[in-house]
Structures are given as C-alpha cells and as structure tokens.
Amino acid sequence: MPTFAEAGRALEQNLEALRKPGILAVRPGYHIEAGWPVGDPVVVALVGAKKGEAAAYGLPAQIAGVPVEVREASPLERLRATRPEVHAELEDRTRPEQHIPDFPFERSFAAPPQAAAQAARRPAKPQIPYRPASPPLDPVSGSLTVICVASPDAGWPALRDFFGRVQQKLVVGMYDFTSAHVLAGLEAALTPVGPHTLSLVLDHPTRNPTADQSDEQTEQDLSGKLGGALSFAWAPVRSSPEVTEWMFPTAYHIKVAVRDSAEVWLSSGNWNNSNQPEDAPITDPDPTHAAETFKNSDRDWHVVIAHPALAQLYEAYLLNDRETARQAQGQAVAAAELEAFAEQSFDLAELSPAAEARSPHQFFAPLTVTETMTVQPLLTPDHASDGGGMYADKMLELISGAQHSLYIQLQYIHPSNQAEDGGFTALLDAVAARAAAGVDVRIILSQWQNSQWLERLQAAGIDTGLVRIQNGVHNKGFVVDHQRVVVSSQNWSGPGVLQNRDAGLIIDNTTIARYFEGIFLHDWDNVAVGHGRRVGVTALDAAVAQIFGWEDDPGERVPALIPPELRPVPDLTLTPLRLAIPRVSAPPPRGYPPGIPEFRYWSAAEAAARGAAFWRQLLPAGTTWQVGETLNMLLDEGEDFNAFYDRQALNFFHGTAGGRTVYSGESPDIVCHEEGHAILDALRPELFDAGTIEAAAFHESFGDMSALLAALQLPSMRTAMIADTGGDLSHSSRLSRLAEQLGWAIRQSAPTAVDADCLRNAANSFFYTNPETLPSRAPAASLSSEPHSFSRVFTGAFLEALAGGFRLASAHPGEADLQAVSRDLARLLVTGILAAPIVPEYMSQVAAAMITADAGAEGAARGKYGDVLKSAFVRHGILSPQSAAGVAAFHAISVAAARPLGMAVDGVRELPHIALSAAEYGLGERPLLVRAPSDPRRFAVSAAAFGVGSVTPSNAEHAARAFVEDLLQRGHIDIGGAGQPGIRIVHPHTFKTHRLVPSAEGLMLARILFDCGFHAMCRP
C-alpha cells in the first residue's frame, strides 16, 4: 500500500501523464466518503465541472499503483488554480478557518505562470519586529482562585460579572469586539468615567455574520463614551485595514482582559455574539430557547483568575502591545475594496458535511475552584529560552507527557507545508505518537474542518478516526490525563501556533481539568459527530476500549478530588468466581464521565472483576461462590443507604443525603467489601451462620481487607499511597479510609455513627476486648460488640502487618514490593482462615494460624512475616504477648494440612446447633437453635487482657448466647410469628440480618445477609 508521500512522488514523476485538458490541478489525497477520508492515498485530479472519471480526461486509472481520482474543485480551489493572485488577496483578508489547504506535492496546471509570479509580488505592508514586554513568562504556583466557565452555557454572565468587579482600570487585548450587549456591559461597568480607564488593543477581522456593529464602530462608541479614559490602538496585523505596518501575520488573536492589575479573564472566545450570546443557556428559563441558543452559538472555554502576579504579567504584555502598535496606526492602502471583496466571499468556504447543529444533553454552570495549583502562562509569538516558540515548546512537553488521555477541542487544525512551521508540525507528530502509544486521543474540530482539511490532517499523520466534528466549536482547549488543562486562544495553524498574538495557560489541577474534561466528554458523546455520521463507539473505541473507574471510592467531594482513571474493559466471565450484572445490558465500553449510569456500570464491574482476579489466584483449586458458578451483582435495587450480600447476589442501592444522591455500587470499596463477604463465604461457609460475635465481625473485617487489597492491585493507587503516607502505610490514608462517600452520606444524618472522614478507618488503635463484655452499640470513636465496629480490631492489625511487611521488603521499597506484600499477606490470610477453628475467640485463632502458616512457608519465604504479624496482632490485643511469644512452639502447618478443617473444598460443613431457651426472650416454649462456635481449639493462644495476662476464652454456649442477645438488642432478628404478643420484643423499624426458621427441633436462628453497616450503626 502506498503512503501519502509515495503517492506524491508518483505524481511528481508522472506530471506529463496527468497534465490533460480540463485538469486544473493534481495532488495526493484520500478517497472521500460522507466527508471523511477513507482508505489508502489516491492522486486527486481537480476539474471544473466534472464530466466523468479518469478515462474521460485521458488520465491513466492509476500511476505507479496509486489510483487516480477525478474530483470537482471547490470554488476556492478553482479560484486558486485559475487566479492565484486573486485567491492570495482574498486569503489575506478572510478568516483562517475559511482558507483551503496546501497539499504537499500539489501542482496547478491552470494558472498562467506570470499570474503565480504576480501573486508572489503583491505590494507588501512593511513588517516591524515583535518586541516583547520584559516580565518572564514563568509559571505561578500556590493557592489560586479560578472561575471555570464555558460558552455558550454561561460565558456572558461570567464576563458581565467580571466587568462588574472593575474598580479603576481594565486592560484588554481582543481579536473581535462586535457584540452590542458586551459593548453596553463594558460601558456600564466603566461608568462613571472619572475613576475608570480602559486600555484596548483591537484587531479588525472581516465582519462576522453575527456582528451587531463593526470593530470600528466599537472603537468609535467607546471613544465617544470614555473620551480621554480610553487608550486605544489597532493591532498591527498584516491584513488589517487600520494599520500601515504589521507585526502579526494573520491575527491579533488574543482574548484577555485584566482588571485593576488583580484579576485576569482569559478565553478562547471573542466579545462577539456567537462566542458570548446574551441569553446564556444556563440561566434561560425556556429549555427550547436555551437549546436553540446552543445550536446557534460557539463552544468556548474561559477562566477568570484572581491572582495579582499573573494578572500583572498579562497586563504588562497587553500594555506593551499597545505601545509597540503606535507606529503602525493609519489606514492601509486599498483596504476598503479588499474588505468588501472578502465580505462578499464569506460564504465561499466549504463546511464539513458531517457537521450537525445538535442539542446539548446538559448545560454547565461555572465552577469556582480555590486550590493549590501551578499555572503556566502561554503567549505567542514569545520565545522560549531555546529560541523556539514558548507555546509550541510547552505544548510539546505537555502532549508528549500524556500517559492515559489527550482530549483536544479546536476550531480547526491546519497542517503546514512550511519548514518555518516545524514547531507546529512537531505538535501534530506528538499527537500521532501518543495515539500510536495507546493513549486515549480524541479530537473535536468544528465544521470548518471540511473534507479537504480532514484529508490534509490525515496526510499529516493524524488518524481522522480520532476526530469528531462539532458544529460551532471555537474552543482551543486540551485536557491531559484528567490532570492538566489548557485554556487558550491559539489556533492550530502555523501562524496560530508560532506567529500571531495569542494567549493561554496550562493549569495543573485535577478539579479544573475534570471540569473541562466533563464538558469535553459531553460534547464528544452528545454533540460531535464521528465518521459516517455516527455518534457513539468508533472503530478506535472498539480497538482500544477503556472504561473509567474510581481508584477506591468516589470520596466526599464533587467533583471528586481523585479523578477516575481509564482501565481496560473488565471481563466478568472468567472462572472461577464468575460475575454477572443481570437485568441491564452492558453499555458500550468507553470512558463515560462520572454521574451517569453507564459510568457506574463499568466502575462497579471493574472493581468487582479486579477483586475477583485478586482472590482467584489465592483460593484453593475448586473454590467457587456459595451460590454456584456465577455471582450476580444488582447495581441499583432502589432507594436505601445499603449494600448487602445475601447468598444470592451482591445488592447495591442509592440514597440521597445533603442534596446528593449516593450509589453504594459506585464505590469500589463497597463493591469489594460485599464481594469479600462472598469470597469468605466461599472459603468458610460455616462462618455465615456461626453464632458468635467474632465470626460476624471477622466477616466484616474480611470485607474491608478485600477492599483494601483490591485497591492495592492498581499501580496508580500503590504509587499514590506510598507517596501520601511517606512509605508508612499504617498512617491514615485513602487506602485505610474505607467508603469515604457513604461515610459522608451517613454523617449527614448520624454524625457520630461513622468515622469523621470515612465509613471505617483501617488505620486505628482499637484494642481487643472480649466482645461479650462490650456494649451492643457505641459511637464510632469507641468499640462496641456490633460486628462492623468490632471488625476494626482485626482490620487495624492487618493494615499494620501490611505496612510492616512493605517496609521490610527492601531498603527502598517501591510499588512492585507493595503489590508483592499484598499478595503474600492475602495468601497467609487465606491459609489462616482455612486452618483456624471456629471458636468464640476466632480472631486470635486466625492470627495464630497466619503466623504458623508463615513459619511453615517454603524456602526464603519461611518466617518472612513472622515478626510483623506478631507485632501487629499484639499491638491490637488479638494475641497476648505470652501467646505471641510462644508462637515458635506452634506446629508449622501447611495449606494442605489446613484444608480438612476448612472443608471448603469438600462441601459445606455445618457447625452443630446448641439449644438456648427461647422463653427467656419471649419467643415461646420451643428451644432457640443457634449454630455454636464449637470447633475444637487448634491453637493454644488467647487474646490480651487489659492490664496483665490473657483473656479467658468463653465457652461456645456463652458466646452463642451473647451473640443472640446482641442481635435482639439491636433488633436485627426477624422473629416472624414467634412468641407471645406483649411478651416478645419487636423492633418494627430495624433492618433484619437474621430470621427464625421453625424446624422439628425448635426455632433455628438463620442469617439472611451481611449488610454494609449503615443500619447496624444508625438505627435503634
């Protein structure tokens, strides 16, 4: 298959075969279908009115294997081919978006040679050198307040408010200022004139179709109203009719205003009606009218930053522009005719046939962010220290650094053939390289990126499959890796990137990047049109489909402090531990933004698949879900603050608190916690119904440990946690804080029911106390016998063991060490669970079994974690010092030896019942049957007592009785019809985790489910 350049060389070597009557010009290109370039390169022969294919013109069907395609020239292509001097005049005066591309290897056959020469000899306006202001364009760091705004949604109200804050002076550089309401708003803000001044440098582009007045009229009106308070200069632009010399070749394209040397407004948009429509959709009470405004207006991004140093930097350059423009002021020769000609030719440019004016899905309100961040000013045509353009340099660095995603929204991309535009070509090469490297590259361009420009873009190495066309995009914005965002006025053309006056900034801040990314993805999904006029999954999406998932939890903040990241599409069908999400069809896998069901679907699926993948490698062969081969996930079972595992499915709900709706299934912490219940149920099904507080608490702890371990399987999470904790993972961190978002929601109604910053924190100092002696409920700050509360003792010890294991991994342990330690400890946990007998003091048995398993490990792993495990369990009182010291005497056990006790492989082994007196609880005369924690003790260990010594273990019956009384006190047993009305205790409004099942021998206490803990903690 020939490349574009090979097609060009074939053309050059066969010029005479192509020079036929009726052929205006030839160039390499691509076959076009529905406005999009498709397939391999072709040689395009442009004709006036097309009368047939190649043979009709005497052309070969192909040259050097490259097909020859006859195409009718567009009006501008025809003009350039036949009257290049007129075309050059016109191009000088029309807006760049209306220009037609120069293709490499293009040859015109139609123009007389002298016409081309004449075009090159046009009388030139003298050029004057650009002289920059003195302040260096260094980045600014610190706590900044940034107002983020998009047009047409909220552009004008934000600009009007900015005008309203002007106290003394406003300094402006603007390309186009033709809107009556913006002019009136500005004049109102600067009245009375006395204390107010305005400095304005204005370009003079061809009048746009939405203009209320010309730029001259704007200047005249301001001059009349403000008098001496106005300092004005026309920008020295080659095409401007208002100047006699030029500094900027095609545009003074900046859109910046600085008020009172304190606050800067910077935008991709002008002060015209299409960029700043008066009826801002966000405040429009009529949705139909708002949608119409959107369709007829332009997409632009703006930021308003209150930061004196940054404001003064831009102000210095704007004032310098005004001063250096003075010498150029004066009417250009023969400008009026050219102006009229250009205006008449406004409609000559072809638009992309893919463009459609589509209604938006939503409008975006401004977001004010006050956070620590770094802002890099970008000014064109200023130079970097190496002599290149500073915009081009900084942008190349930014784009080349994209690791996950690169979202680009530009009015157009006009690749250049000029060697002097190498700095711009390098940006295009970098975009192509990131796409080739698998980065999620998406490019939205406007209707001005017509078929020829898409061909030209493809020829420049950018896969136009990455492109969608959005009607009315005027933006020049970029979002990289959900972390850095560019708001700017630089168009992507040689002059735009390197020579014109333009301004922008790179903001390194997740919250701001996420705001603009949300708008970008909205446009991509709802407004932009991809190849073949399809909206939706493109070939690219299918080839490298990725979905967004949270790292561990959405967190308290909206938008989230830690953005979701792109991950491979999860496969739920892997066995064992197959998962399914029944009743809803999977949305096409792609990067949905948070806040919509499609996002939640993939976020939940990804978290559950990650958890299953982790445990799958550690469970004994043959282990599978208690429910069978497939465990269902029910993502939204209605309104409730809950999530539970009930031996049928993982159930999730949604609830509203503090004005926000929280979905328990959206949190990977909660998904992996519930999945953890199912994993432990697969490993030790007897625990499900074991009548002992510690077993129930251990189930909760295992859920939390599962959440923690699943989060650590993400490289990004490991790296972040090592950094956040300074390498000591026992510190409170995002890792240790479980289910922050649900915790926040619960605190809205029950402030002390959960920790102050999450649902439960694994970084804790809770010390073991026999749960039979603890109150059945307590605020989160204290330990109670409630299983979620008591679970924190074991989870706390596990996190400490993990932290200790990580620190001894090497002298400078890294994220790979952390992953290895997480696997090692999870393996010991599985072994310990299989080996530990179910007795009242279950936690100490698991602890001893883990230490013993470590001591019995093979080879270099033998005893590796002995010290950190002992330390962690002793520090949390799960093992008394005496027990831990005696651990050397334990018989080393292997997984194989442990299995017979666990029985997970051989089927369910039920714990025996013991009979308690139901009458004591008002439940009638028949005995209450409880599965007692009555395994034979395997490890002669005990938990620490307060003060000195060890806790004396209670017997199975005592433990079962304590368990039942606890449940009754909290009202968690559905007693059905048992007992005598008036005597029995009924809690009509509490959440039931257990029920009483009548049998021949009595009333059997049976567990219904493990719930997430909200009801357990908050309800009476």
Binding footprint of Zn ion on the chain (CB under 5 A):
700, 703, 1010
At 128, which helix (H) or strand (E)? none
Q: Which two tokens stand for residue 471?
A: 């009607």
CB 606 within 8 A of CB 547: yes
Closest CA to 945 of 769, 787, 803, 791: 769
Those residues with Cβ within 8 angstroms of residue 58's Cβ, 6 or more apart along the chain or in another chain: 20, 21
Minimum CB separation of residue 1019 from Zn ion in Å reads 16
Please return the burial class of 161, using the count of CB atoms within 10 Å of its CB with bins 0-12, 13-18 and 19+. Answer: middle
Minimum CB separation of residue 646 from Zn ion in Å reads 11
Q: Which two tokens stand for residue 557?
A: 């903040």
Which is it for the CA torsion 980, 983, 989, 993, positive or negative? negative
Minimum CB separation of residue 754 from Zn ion in Å reads 13
**For residue 866, which phi and psi values (nearest 5 degrees)?**
-55, -50
- Residue 890, amino acid: F
The nearer residue to Zn ion, 563 or 655, going by C-beta atoms, is: 655
3-state secondary structure of 298: coil
Those residues with Cβ within 8 angstroms of residue 510's Cβ, 6 or more apart along the chain or in another chain: 482, 483, 561, 562, 563
Query: Does the bond joining 381 to the residue before it have cis omega, within 30 degrees of 0?
Result: yes
The nearer residue to Zn ion, 321 or 666, going by C-beta atoms, is: 666
- Residue 306, amino acid: A
Residue whose token pair is 């304190």? 262
Closest CA to 151 of 303, 285, 259, 28: 303
Minimum CB separation of residue 1010 from Zn ion in Å reads 5
Q: Which two tokens stand for residue 203?
A: 């370009």
The nearer residue to Zn ion, 44 or 705, going by C-beta atoms, is: 705
- As beta bridge partners, residue 715 has none
The nearer residue to Zn ion, 366 or 771, going by C-beta atoms, is: 771
- As beta bridge partners, residue 592 has none
Q: Which two tokens stand for residue 340?
A: 């009229």
Minimum CB separation of residue 787 from Zn ion in Å reads 8
3-state secondary structure of 24: strand
The nearer residue to Zn ion, 11 or 753, going by C-beta atoms, is: 753
* Alpha-carbon distance values, 398 to 371, 543, 597 (Å): 21, 25, 32
Minimum CB separation of residue 289 from Zn ion in Å reads 50
Minimum CB separation of residue 707 from Zn ion in Å reads 10
* Geometric angle at alpha carbon 270, from 265 and 272, rounded to 5°: 125
SS (H, E, C) 720-785: HHHHHCCCCCCCCCCCCEECHHHHHHHHCCCCCCCCCCCCEECCCCCCCCCHHHCCCCCCCCCCCC
Minimum CB separation of residue 676 from Zn ion in Å reads 8
The nearer residue to Zn ion, 392 or 680, going by C-beta atoms, is: 680
The nearer residue to Zn ion, 315 or 669, going by C-beta atoms, is: 669
Minimum CB separation of residue 1012 from Zn ion in Å reads 5
Minimum CB separation of residue 777 from Zn ion in Å reads 17
Question: What one-character DSSP code corresponds to residue 445?
Answer: E
The nearer residue to Zn ion, 298 or 700, going by C-beta atoms, is: 700
Minimum CB separation of residue 846 from Zn ion in Å reads 17
Question: What one-character DSSP code corresponds to residue 499?
Answer: I
Strands (E) in 770-896, as ranges, are none
The nearer residue to Zn ion, 572 or 680, going by C-beta atoms, is: 680
The nearer residue to Zn ion, 759 or 928, going by C-beta atoms, is: 759
The nearer residue to Zn ion, 462 or 738, going by C-beta atoms, is: 738
CB 787 within 8 A of CB 963: no
3-state secondary structure of 488: strand
Q: Torsion over CA of 848, 853, 856 and 862, rounded to 10 degrees?
A: -100
The nearer residue to Zn ion, 395 or 696, going by C-beta atoms, is: 696
Minimum CB separation of residue 994 from Zn ion in Å reads 14
Closest CA to 36 of 684, 532, 712: 532
The nearer residue to Zn ion, 29 or 703, going by C-beta atoms, is: 703
* Geometric angle at alpha carbon 227, from 224 and 232, rounded to 5°: 95
Minimum CB separation of residue 976 from Zn ion in Å reads 24
CB atoms within 10 A of CB 245: 16
CB 241 within 8 A of CB 338: yes
Strands (E) in 332-399, as ranges, are 367-380
Minimum CB separation of residue 743 from Zn ion in Å reads 14
- What is the rounded distance in angstroms from the CA atom of residue 137 to the CA atom of residue 118? 42
Minimum CB separation of residue 806 from Zn ion in Å reads 26
**For residue 342, which phi and psi values (nearest 5 degrees)?**
-65, -40
Residue whose token pair is 């697969």? 682
Those residues with Cβ within 8 angstroms of residue 924's Cβ, 6 or more apart along the chain or in another chain: 918, 978, 979, 980, 1003
Minimum CB separation of residue 931 from Zn ion in Å reads 19
The nearer residue to Zn ion, 694 or 700, going by C-beta atoms, is: 700
- What is the rounded distance in angstroms from the CA atom of residue 877 to the CA atom of residue 950? 9
The nearer residue to Zn ion, 173 or 703, going by C-beta atoms, is: 703
Minimum CB separation of residue 1009 from Zn ion in Å reads 9
The nearer residue to Zn ion, 26 or 650, going by C-beta atoms, is: 650
The nearer residue to Zn ion, 538 or 993, going by C-beta atoms, is: 993
The nearer residue to Zn ion, 428 or 697, going by C-beta atoms, is: 697
Minimum CB separation of residue 786 from Zn ion in Å reads 12
- What is the rounded distance in angstroms from the CA atom of residue 270 to the CA atom of residue 218? 13
